[in-house]
Amino acid sequence: MNANELSKVNALPASELRQRIAQFDVVAVGIVAAAIILFVGIGGTVFPQILRAVSGEGTGPDRSLTSALLLNIALVIFSWRRQRMLTLEIAERRKAEAQAWILAETDPLTGCFNRRSIGDATDRLVSTARARGEEVAFLMFDLDNFKRVNDVNGHAAGDKILREIAARVTRAMPAGALVARLGGDEFALVIPFDPAHPQRIEELAETLIKMAALPVEVDGALLQTTISIGITRSNSNQGGEPAQTLLHMADIAMFHAKKQGRNRYYWFEDSMEAELRFRAELEAGIRRGVSLGEFVPHYEQQIEIRTGKLVGFEMLARWKSPTAGEIAPDIFIPIAEEIGLISELSESVIAQALRDAREWDPGLTLSVNISPIQLRDPWFAQKLLKLLVEANFPPSRLDVEITESYLHENLGEVRALIASLKNQGISVSLDDFGMGYNSLAQLRTLPFDRIKIDRSFVSGLSGSGDSTMIIQAISTLADGLGLPITAEGIDSESIQNQLKDLGTFKGQGYLYGKPENSDQTRERLSQLGLLLKDALPAAAKASNLPTLDANRRSA
């Protein structure tokens, strides 16, 4: 029996059924005792009479007393047998009771407490710890990327990892602590501790992180996983159900640990709750905004640096939330990815951008960013093709930007996707080059058409000489591979001039202008004479899109 099971037994209150069984025991024992007393009473009269009759001194026992004695003996035997049967039945019932309790209160996979039982057990532990002058730390953790482990290695491997992690954690627990599996890959630990030494809990959290990271052997393969832990303590709890509140706070802290990069622990802080509320509002806002078409494309100019000629635009999504105001894509894109709305959001802004761009001069290209989630969608290339066909936009003018830092996760899938995009005539750029883990390896194995040097290197040109050397090296490498380069984040004349000296680049940045909305872009293009002749003015376009489409079809 492990620590967890022991504490379960200790924590079990006397049940009503036990009380009833105990009352029943008393009645049965009472009957047997009364029968024995009667037997002794009657026997005390009858047996001497029998003895006297045997020795020839008397006439024999009284017949009615003898019958009563025999009846009494039968009653004792009957009561004794009944008592035995009852004892056996009660033992069986207690066993079944205990089994039912185990099924209802424990997790069948790991043998730990389950979500239903941990609440009451925590409440009891909190009150006993308080009575001893101790506090209770409530830790919640889950396995990082467990879904991926399950997807790649199968559910049997996932189950083995869960059992092994539960066993390791249980071994590391001090006496009196509780371990629960809340469901899926989520666990809770409830640990009494001396409030003068909270660092013991931190040491324990560090040990758990190390223990969880040790490999687990599954069918000869060594699988590894990490955990993220959220911690809170019973004294910081104000009102409400203690266990519920502790769980809620630990959950928030765990979420924070995940966001900070996983494989670590965090104590709960009040500010985390505010952050979480803001995030929940953003999530709701994104859901509503996607369905109401609140996400719109803006366009950043792309310039041929040597000549200053405008050659195309990068589309960047913009969102003005009716409640929270303008929110940057660095914030809403990751959230849309997490809540599963990135494809819908992205397809909506790309469709709008294709409609806008078909009114531009045919020499101008359109670059769009796509998320790593979309890279994993086997239908992505088809979806994009459908949008191109619907907008009647030539694939050769479209450029898809793939951010470098995510490529190492799924190289095979990305290679297949790039191949199918290129088959359709779409070109593919490697965005934010230099920020990924193995940039050079990727450049050789993936057939990109262009690389975009990350903004951090370009803006570094205004500082130390390191950036100049890096850009020079990238330029030589790209030349060797026959890849053209775009430099992002050119925000001063001096950076532009240095780039002119370093090679033949395309460039974009605030020096040429900040991203502009559809109407502003049309205005700019109209002034440059780069708007198709049959494109209507912006105001007319807004009120008269179908007419424009009709013109285009008849042209």
Instruction: Restricting to residues 49-108, name those near ligand C2E by CB under 6 A.
Output: none
- Using CB under 5 A as the binding rule, whether residue 404 contacts Mg ion is answered as no
List, as own/partner pairs, every contact residues 346-349 make where C-beta atoms lie below 8 angstroms and the sequence separation is at least 24, other chains included. Answer: 346/317, 346/370, 346/371, 346/374, 347/383, 347/387, 348/290, 348/293, 348/295, 349/295, 349/296, 349/297, 349/315, 349/317
- Using CB under 5 A as the binding rule, whether residue 431 contacts Mg ion is answered as yes
- Using CB under 6 A as the binding rule, whether residue 333 contacts ligand C2E is answered as yes
Residue nearest to ligand C2E (CB): 509
Contact characters 489-528, ligand C2E, x per CB under 6 A: xxx----------------xxx----x-------------
Q: Which is nearer to ligand C2E, 84 or 514 (CB)?
A: 514
Q: Which is nearer to Mg ion, 76 or 511 (CB)?
A: 511
Q: Which is nearer to ligand C2E, 216 or 490 (CB)?
A: 490
- Using CB under 6 A as the binding rule, whether residue 330 contacts ligand C2E is answered as yes
SS (H, E, C) 210-269: HHHHCCEEECCEEECCCEEEEEEEHHHCCCCCHHHHHHHHHHHHHHHHHHCCCCCEEECC
Query: Which amino acid makes up residue 387?
Result: L
Q: CA-to-CA distance for 275 and 252, rounded, in angstroms?
A: 10
Longest dimension (CA), the chain: 146
- Using CB under 5 A as the binding rule, whether residue 399 contacts Mg ion is answered as no
Q: Do residues 384 and 354 touch, judged by C-beta distance below 8 A?
A: no
Which of 164, 300, 356, 401 touches Mg ion (CB under 5 A)?
Answer: 401
Residue 442 neighbours by CB distance under 10 Å:
21
Instruction: With H, G, I as helix, E, B as strand and everything else as coil, classify residue 175.
Output: coil
Q: CA-to-CA distance for 143 and 59, rounded, in angstroms?
A: 91
- Using CB under 6 A as the binding rule, whether residue 488 contacts ligand C2E is answered as yes
What is the closest distance, in whole angstroms, from the C-beta atom of residue 317 to ligand C2E in the complex? 3
Residue 518 touches which of Mg ion, ligand C2E, none (Cβ within 5-8 Å per kind): none
Instruction: Restricting to residues 380-419, name those near ligand C2E by CB under 6 A.
Output: 401, 403
Which of 233, 431, 460, 483 touches ligand C2E (CB under 6 A)?
Answer: 431
Q: Which is nearer to Mg ion, 253 or 487 (CB)?
A: 487
- Encode 104-117: b = buried (16+ Cβ within 10 Å), e = exposed: ebbbeebbbbbeeb
Instruction: Restricting to residues 237-296, name those near ligand C2E by CB under 6 A.
Output: none
Q: Which is nearer to ligand C2E, 327 or 416 (CB)?
A: 327
Q: CA-to-CA distance for 428 and 446, rounded, in angstroms?
A: 10
Which of 164, 189, 432, 474 touches ligand C2E (CB under 6 A)?
Answer: 432
Q: Which is nearer to Mg ion, 122 or 429 (CB)?
A: 429
Q: CA-to-CA distance for 203 and 405, rounded, in angstroms?
A: 33
What is the closest distance, in whole angstroms, from the C-beta atom of residue 490 to Mg ion in the complex? 12
Stretch that binds ligand C2E, among 99-107, 285-293, 487-495, 533-541 (CB under 6 A): 487-495
- Using CB under 5 A as the binding rule, whether residue 432 contacts Mg ion is answered as yes
What is the closest distance, in whole angstroms, from the C-beta atom of residue 523 to ligand C2E in the complex? 19
Nearest to 359 by CA among 524, 513, 506: 524
CB-count burial class (<10 Å; 0-12, 13-18, 19+) for 484: middle
Which of 253, 317, 391, 421 touches ligand C2E (CB under 6 A)?
Answer: 317
Residue 333 touches which of Mg ion, ligand C2E, none (Cβ within 5-8 Å per kind): ligand C2E
Q: CA-to-CA distance for 148 and 141, rounded, in angstroms?
A: 17
Nearest to 301 by CA among 528, 453, 463, 117: 528
- Using CB under 5 A as the binding rule, whether residue 300 contacts Mg ion is answered as no
Instruction: Restricting to residues 339-368, name those near ligand C2E by CB under 6 A.
Output: 346, 349
Q: CA-to-CA distance for 72 and 322, rounded, in angstroms?
A: 91
Which of 79, 110, 117, 369 touches Mg ion (CB under 5 A)?
Answer: 369
Helix (H) or strand (E) holding 367: strand 365-370
What is the closest distance, in whole angstroms, from the C-beta atom of residue 529 to Mg ion in the complex? 27
Tokens of 404: 């470098």
Q: Do residues 113 and 105 touch, judged by C-beta distance below 8 A?
A: yes
What is the closest distance, in whole angstroms, from the C-beta atom of residue 503 to Mg ion in the complex? 18
What is the closest distance, in whole angstroms, from the C-beta atom of residue 506 to ligand C2E in the complex? 13
Where helices occur in 55-136 by DSSP H, the ranges are 63-105, 115-131
SS (H, E, C) 298-326: EEEEEEECCCCEEEEEEEEEEEEECCCEE
Cα 11 to the center of its chain, rounded Å: 32
Residue 278 touches which of Mg ion, ligand C2E, none (Cβ within 5-8 Å per kind): none
Residue 515 touches which of ligand C2E, Mg ion, none (Cβ within 5-8 Å per kind): ligand C2E
- Using CB under 6 A as the binding rule, whether residue 541 contacts ligand C2E is answered as no
Residue 346 touches which of ligand C2E, Mg ion, none (Cβ within 5-8 Å per kind): ligand C2E
Residue 274 touches which of ligand C2E, Mg ion, none (Cβ within 5-8 Å per kind): none
Separation of first and last alpha carbons in the chain = 83
Stretch that binds Mg ion, among 116-124, 167-175, 244-252, 482-490 (CB under 5 A): 482-490
Q: Which chain residues interact with Mg ion by CB under 5 A? A: 369, 401, 431-432, 488
- Binding residues for ligand C2E, rule: CB under 6 A, are 300, 316-317, 328-330, 333, 346, 349, 369-371, 401, 403, 431-432, 455, 488-491, 508-510, 515
